[in-house]
A and B are shown apart, each in its own frame.
Chain A
């Protein structure tokens, strides 16, 4: 079964308490290519590599099926700054 962006969003929301999520399937629906913006308070105080590791761990099973996954990881504070 192809992976959907909704499936990824639900998992990230549950595991990382993400306050904002935007996951775009750039594979035209075949479920193998995604671009993600993830905002979570759990990223606070963590360097970039650790943030990405956290996401990789949450999506471990899915990443085995996904061909390409690109992510931006922000704290709520960083996200707010980017919006203004």
Chain B
């Protein structure tokens, strides 16, 4: 399987309501930005989310950047749609937009 292909990634992002491409694992993030995203999801009680460690897979790491035209990790998808990186998530957390986005996919914050 080519884990960097558009087809493969398009399957991953639709696999769960919330999907995160990050450095490290959900239990052990390896970067402050990925950790911040985990804290935000945790705060909103999002439990059953997909998470993929790009440090384990160089093809996936490059593939996800090409897929979204977004240069950095972490990257968050809600309902199969690209939402943004850590700064966007933080801002949406602060201004309440994240609650609305989660509501759209049936997750109550």
Expressed in whole angstroms, the minimum distance between the Cβ of A43 and any Cβ of chain B is 13
Interface 9-residue window, one of B4-12, B14-22, B39-47, B81-89: B81-89
B72 at the interface (CB under 8 A from A): yes
A47-76 near B? 1/0 per residue, CB < 8 Å = 011001100100010011000111110000
Q: How many residues of A contact B (CB 8 A)?
A: 13
Give which listed residue, A53, A56, A70, contacts B86 with CB less than 8 A: A70
Expressed in whole angstroms, the minimum distance between the Cβ of A60 and any Cβ of chain B is 7
Contacts of A72 in B (CB 8 A): 87, 91
Q: Which residue of A lies closest to B91 (CB)?
A: A48
Expressed in whole angstroms, the minimum distance between the Cβ of A24 and any Cβ of chain B is 14
Q: Which residue of B lies closest to A56 (CB)?
A: B71
Which chain B residues in 50-89 approach chain A with CB under 8 Å?
A: 69-72, 82-88
Cβ B72 vs Cβ A69 within 8 A: yes
Contacts of B82 in A (CB 8 A): 49
Q: How far is the CA of A11 from the CA of B64 in the complex (A)?
A: 27
Interface residues of A, Cβ cutoff 8 Å to B: 48-49, 52-53, 56, 60, 63-64, 68-72
